[in-house]
Amino acid sequence: MELVLNSMVRHTTLTRWARRVAGCLILAVAVPAAAMDYDCMMEPHRVVDVRSTINGRIEAINVERSDFVKQGQPLVVFESAVEKASVDLARARVEMEAELKSSNVSHKFARRKLGRFDGLSEEGVVAEQTKDEVETEAALAWFQIKQARENKHLAEIELQRAQALLDQHTVKSPLDGVVVERFSSPGEFAGDGPILQLVQLDPLNVEVLLPASRFGLIKQGMKAKVIPEAPLKGAYTAEVKIVDRVIDASSGMFGVRLELPNPDNKLPGGLRCTVSFSAIPDDTHAGARKNGTEKRSFRAAK
C-alpha cells in the first residue's frame, strides 16, 4: 500500500513538472521573431559584354581590368585611316563655296540684264526673241543657285554619313561601371566575340529566395536591411523592386530582387549577405494572437 501511494505521489509530481515545461514551450513559440532573416546574394545591377558593330583590327584599348569607366567614355579604338580620309573629303565639299557664289553672281548679272532689256523692249528697240533669250538666261541662273544649294546639302549629309562610319570605329562605354575582364588586345582582329566585360555596381541587386508562406507579404517599395558577409561590416537599406509572380513547385520558393544604393562603389558584387524584412506584417501571427496561445503553438509546430 505504501509503495502504491509513493508511486501515485511521484506520478503527480512528474505530471505537474511536465505541464510547467509544456507551458514554457508554448510561451516560447507563441512570440514571433521580431524580424525574418534570409540568405541573399549581392550581384551587379548589370553585366555587359562590350562588342563592336564592325569587324576590324584593334588599334588601342584605353582601359584595364578593374578600371572605373563612365558612360560614353571611349574604350576601344579600331584602325580607321580610310574612314578619317572620307570624313576629311566630305568636310571639304561642305566648305566649298565657289559653286554657290558663282551661281549667285551669274543670277544677279542675268537679273540686271533682264531689267535693261525690259525697258528697251517697251520702247520697241529690242526684238521679242532677244528678250526671251535674256529671260531664259535669268531663269537658268536661278536654277544654278538652287542646284548649288542642293549640292551643298548633299555634301552635308555625306559628311554625317562619313562621320557615323568613323564613329563606329570607336567603342564607348554604355554605362558607369567597372571593367572586370579584357578578352582582346591591341593588334588583334575583333570579330563577333566580346572585347571587354563591364559591370554596373550602383545600385547592387540583392537576390533572395523566400518560402511560399511569405508570398503576398512582400511588396514593391518595401524596405529591408541587408548585412554583407565578412569582412564587410555594417547594415544597409535596400528597396524591393521585383517580386516573382510564380512560385517554384519543386522548392516552394519564389524570388525577390532588391536594389541597394552603392554610390561610391564601395560594396563589391558577388558577396553573400543576409536580408531582414523586419517591417513585414505577419497576418498569420496576428490571427494566432487573437485566437489564443494554443493556436499559436500549433502554428509554430507546423
Supply the angle between the helices 98-123 and 128-167 in degrees, to the nearest 10.
160
Residue 259 has pLDDT above 50, yes or no: yes
* Partner residues linked to 243 by β-bridges: 256
Would you say 210 and 187 are in contact if contact means Cβ atoms under 8 Å apart? no
User: Which position has the higher pLDDT, 259 or 115?
Assistant: 259
Whether 67 maps to a domain, the answer reads no
Residue 103, in any domain of the structure: yes
249 occurs within a structural domain:
no
- Domain-located, residue 95: yes
Instruction: Answer whether residue 296 is part of any domain.
Output: no
Pick from 297, 213, 211, 290: nearest CA to 254: 211
Interval 260-290: pLDDT, tens: 999 988 999 999 999 998 754 444 333 333 3
Within a domain: 128: yes
Buried b / exposed e across 134-161, counting CB within 10 Å, b at 16+?
beebbeebeebbeebeeebeebeebbee
pLDDT, tens digit, for every residue of 82-129?
Answer: 999 999 998 888 787 666 567 666 666 666 666 665 655 555 555 565
Query: What 3-state DSSP class applies to 208?
Result: strand
Query: Is position 98 within any domain?
Result: yes
Query: Between 152 and 105, whose confidence is greater?
Result: 152
More confident residue, 264 or 207: 207
Q: What is the pLDDT of residue 235?
A: 93
Domain containing 160: what range? Answer: 80-168
pLDDT value for 125: 52
Question: How many domains does one find in the chain?
Answer: 1
Domain assignment present for 132: yes
| pTM score, whole prediction | 0.64
